[in-house]
Amino acid sequence: MKKKITYIAGDLFLASLVEGVNREVVVEAVHNVLALVPRISHTEPGNVKGFYQKLHQDLNKEVQTVADQLAQSTNA
């Protein structure tokens, strides 16, 4: 899971190198995605499955938010 989050953050960073992309939006997005990493190290005892389901949901939500922000910043 940590690798997946790191790969996503790396892809977002590469997106910041594309011309016409708002770098501030991308940097904030990378920060938000990387903020999920410490959560992995502190799972909830007794509810590990629920913990990872919630983490996946949060990651997917953050990725969708970033995609929407990038689409808006490139269209503007």
3-class DSSP assignment, residue 41:
coil
Other CB atoms within a 10 A radius of the CB of residue 52 amount to 15
Asked if the model's pLDDT at residue 76 lies above 60, the reply is no
Give the pLDDT score at 47.
Answer: 87
Report the predicted TM-score, pTM, of the whole model to 2 decimal places. Answer: 0.71
pLDDT over 70 at 75, yes or no: no
Tokens of 62: 């953050």
Where does residue 54 fall: left (phi above 0), alpha (psi -120 to 50 degrees), or beta otherwise?
Answer: alpha
Tens-place pLDDT, residues 12-64: 777 777 777 777 877 888 888 888 888 888 887 888 899 889 989 998 898 88
Taking the CA atoms of 16, 21, 24 and 25 in sequence, report the sign of the dihedral they define. Answer: negative
What is the distance, to the nearest Å, from the Cα of residue 54 to the centroid of all Cα atoms in its chain? Answer: 14
